[in-house]
Structure 1
Amino acid sequence: MLMDQYFTAMKSVLNKFEETQRDTIIKVSDEIAKRLAKGAAWHIMDTGHMLMFEGVGRTGGMMALKAIKITCEIQNPVRHRPSPARGIVGYDSVPGFADYVLGRANILDGDIIMIGSVSGYNYFPVDLALKANEKDCLTVAITSVDYSKHLTSKHPSGKRLFEACTYCIDNCTNYGDTLVEVKEMGQSICPASGISASYAMWAIQSTVVEKLLEMGLKPSVYISNHMPNASKINGDALDNYEKYGY
């Protein structure tokens, strides 16, 4: 069954991730913990997949990790008129948008910014990483190196996300990000990047927790709202986060 092919292929991606990314995760987590201990903030910006939902605000997750949420809404209730196709322009392709985000978001010199983009070649994520580097931020890419290497950067620097960040966590998915070939359809299905990126996120968070504890610091972590006394426990943890930043 296609389902079984998916199970096998997904396990292979996760096994590869564990074998190849462990050392980088330890280095990244150690640096994150040291910066948090000194008062830095930890941000994550994802260009459209699940990291900002899976990695932030979940039970068992660190309160220190906060999402940079970007919304842009255009309203113009003019009557319908035929118009030439303009194409789709996303914020990730607009020059100068990273400067706007860095200016509006609460990002200070020395902070931590994790940037998620599977392809990693569009203008905005690369520009955000390069501009954040100039602020001495720790920049961490979560991307597919194999996928990105097949693509030409849209940034004037010629860099892709894995080349623009201080560290790169490779989600180990392939070019095209699909696992199961369906000959009858002439294409493949089932992406791996969402699950592998989440795997990376929780591996990083668990290691940051471990590093902070080794430093004698107690990180603030959510418990499920359905657990006994959850409101008070989460409230106390939030107070600890607000006071110390971790």
Structure 2
Amino acid sequence: MSQQREVNDASTGVSMERYWQEAMRSVTRLQQTQMEGLREAARLCAACLARGGVIHTYGTGHSRAFAMELAGRAGGLVPVNRLDLEDLALRAGWSPEVVMHPDIERDLQAGKELLGCYHIEPEDLFLICSNSGGNAAIVEVAQQVKQRGHTLLAVTSLAHTHQSPARHPSGKKLYELADLVIDNQAPFGDALLALPDGSTACAISSVTGALIAQMLTAGIIALLLEQGLEAPVYLSANVPGGMERNNRLVQYYADRIRPV
């Protein structure tokens, strides 16, 4: 059975080893091409936190994983608030059936109402992730962020967004609205490995997205410490004193961040 699997892998170019190789190429390109942008993004985020601001992070579909990587997790920064379309049901009276529908990320009205679910201050910064960067709910939030005068950082696939349609009435995409863009190095379609029928499998954007999120976290913390400031970082609730420390830090930001 294992020998047959190896034959199938060889004939289609699909294997764990092949994915590892292609994924590492994407990671290497990320390091070679995006470090300047990552350093600037870390500088902007650290400046936001130093002046008492909060970083609001947002993604739809699988890009929600990027926002979750930054917000409310052990080792992450406390003053990061995750925006989520599900909050339209929890805080804006939307029907759960509508909010949970797969097409919600293409709903213009969802984008229009989302920011109203949160406590946002003028000094806050926004970090939005979308692989395609073209869906209406993403672009509408980005447009509102800029209209309100906030700094907007974007994580997207430039290869994909340049080959996909804009679904916002303005014709704009996420990268066109952002003050700074980080390219996650995902190809058009996101997946890395070619199948015999011409389709592709095994996505990369979540891998490079998590790496970008943690590199940003490290860069922000380093800059805060250089300035002699506290790095407000969550400890795991499963280590002694973790919950107590976390509760103290969370209380400082009150209703400006999502409860963990």
- Does the alignment reach a TM-score above 0.5? yes
The alignment partner of 1:179 has SS state of strand
TM normalised by structure 2 equals 0.82
Q: In structure 2, how many angstroms separate the alpha carbons of the residues matched to 1:237 and 1:12?
A: 39
The answer as to 2:189 corresponding to 1:176 is: yes
Instruction: Call closer, same or farther: CA 1:75–1:161 in 2, change over 3 Å.
Output: closer
The answer as to 2:160 corresponding to 1:147 is: yes
Q: In structure 2, how many angstroms separate the alpha carbons of the residues matched to 1:206 and 1:53?
A: 16
Structure 1 vs Structure 2 CA RMSD? 2.4
* Alignment check: 8 A CA contact 1:220 1:241 kept: no
Q: Report the alpha carbon displacement of residue 133 of structure 1 after superposing the two structures with TM.
A: 0.8
The answer as to 2:210 corresponding to 1:198 is: yes
Aligned to 1:189: 201
Q: In structure 2, how many angstroms separate the alpha carbons of the residues matched to 1:227 and 1:74?
A: 35
The alignment partner of 2:191 has SS state of coil
1:43 partner letter: H
2:178 partner letter: C
* Alignment check: 8 A CA contact 2:107 2:137 kept: yes
Number of residues paired by the alignment? 233
The alignment partner of 1:211 has SS state of helix
TM normalised by structure 1 equals 0.86
- Which one of 76, 83, 86 corresponds to residue 68 of structure 1? 83
Aligned to 2:68: 53
The answer as to 2:241 corresponding to 1:232 is: no
Higher helix share goes to which structure?
Answer: 2
In the TM superposition, what are the counterparts of 1:109-148 in structure 2 within 5 Å?
109-148=122-161
Aligned to 1:83: none
Instruction: Call closer, same or farther: CA 1:223–1:48 in 2, change over 3 Å.
Output: same
Q: Percent identity?
A: 25
The alignment partner of 1:115 has SS state of strand
Q: Report the alpha carbon displacement of residue 51 of structure 1 after superposing the two structures with TM.
A: 1.5
* Alignment check: 8 A CA contact 1:115 1:139 kept: yes
Aligned to 2:48: 35
- 1:190-240 residue CA offsets vs partner (Å, 9 max, x unmatched): 000011111111111111111111221112111222223323333344355
The alignment partner of 1:190 has SS state of strand
Q: Which moved more, 1:143-152 or 1:46-55?
A: 46-55
1:231 partner letter: M
The alignment partner of 2:194 has SS state of strand
In the TM superposition, what are the counterparts of 1:152-171 in structure 2 within 5 Å?
152-171=165-184
Instruction: Call closer, same or farther: CA 1:108–1:155 in 2, change over 3 Å.
Output: same
* Alignment check: 8 A CA contact 2:46 2:224 kept: yes
2:189 partner letter: G
Q: Report the alpha carbon displacement of residue 166 of structure 1 after superposing the two structures with TM.
A: 1.2
Runs of 4+ in 1 over 6 A off after TM superposition: none
User: Please, which runs of 5 or more residues in structure 1 have no aligned partner?
Assistant: 77-87
- 1:47-67 residue CA offsets vs partner (Å, 9 max, x unmatched): 122123222222111111111
The answer as to 2:230 corresponding to 1:218 is: yes
User: Please, which runs of 5 or more residues in structure 2 have no aligned partner?
Assistant: 1-8, 10-14, 90-94
- Which one of 207, 211, 234 corresponds to residue 219 of structure 2? 207
* Alignment check: 8 A CA contact 2:51 2:123 kept: no
